[in-house]
Amino acid sequence: MVKSIEDVRVTGTLVWYFCVCPREAWLMSHQLTPDEDDENIRIGRMIHEDSFGRAEREAAISGSKIDRVVQRDGKLVVYEVKKSSRHERSARMQLLFYLLQLREAGVLAIGELHYPEEKRVVKIQLGDEELREIMGIITQIRDLIARDLPPSPTRIPVCKKYAYAEFCWA
């Protein structure tokens, strides 16, 4: 279990979970992980692997895994691949978090959310407004992680499809 807030590093995945369901983010941050054989987790992995060639690997920065990073027209482009745009705000926040991590390391980049099944790409930049937004999310996540107990479960549409459902409704 988490002994202090310093024990948990905020990652892009944690940002995504927080934006979908704060309870899931708390569970994940306290090492309570879902069933890795959950169908939705497997489907997500397959889409990720099929989206780009096998030679193109994830990049890592400060404990976060970035789906793909490329140079295009003299700019560094960070890709994040998602199954669908259903949680586009969460995916956007995750990508903004990666762009912030890179900026803090002295690397300027732009982002692209890729939805292969929808054949859609959304371009993302870390401007002043986006910076305030992601910094607010990071603060909220740190406050959440510091709690001794998770937030109470709240039924939301994603509950029936998420691997963490057992932690809330079993």
Q: Return the sign of the alpha-carbon dihedral for residues 29, 34, 40, 41.
A: positive
Looking at residue 5, what is its pLDDT? 44
Q: What is the CATH number of the domain that holds 113?
A: 3.90.320.10
pLDDT at 132 over 90: yes
Domain count, the chain: 1
- The rounded distance, in Å, linking the Cα atoms of 62 and 67 is 14
Tens of pLDDT, residues 25-83: 999 999 887 766 656 555 555 554 555 554 455 677 777 778 888 999 999 999 999 98
Q: Distance of CA 41 to CAs 10, 75, 132, Å?
A: 20, 32, 31
pLDDT at 17 over 90: yes
pTM, rounded to two decimals: 0.82
Tens of pLDDT, residues 133-166: 999 999 999 999 999 999 999 998 887 777 777 7
- The rounded distance, in Å, linking the Cα atoms of 119 and 117 is 6
User: 128 lies in which domain range?
Assistant: 5-169
Residues 6+ apart with CB under 8 A from 121: 112, 113, 114, 115
The conformation of residue 159, written as its DSSP 8-state character, comes to G
Mean pLDDT of 12-27: 94
Mean pLDDT of 84-98: 96
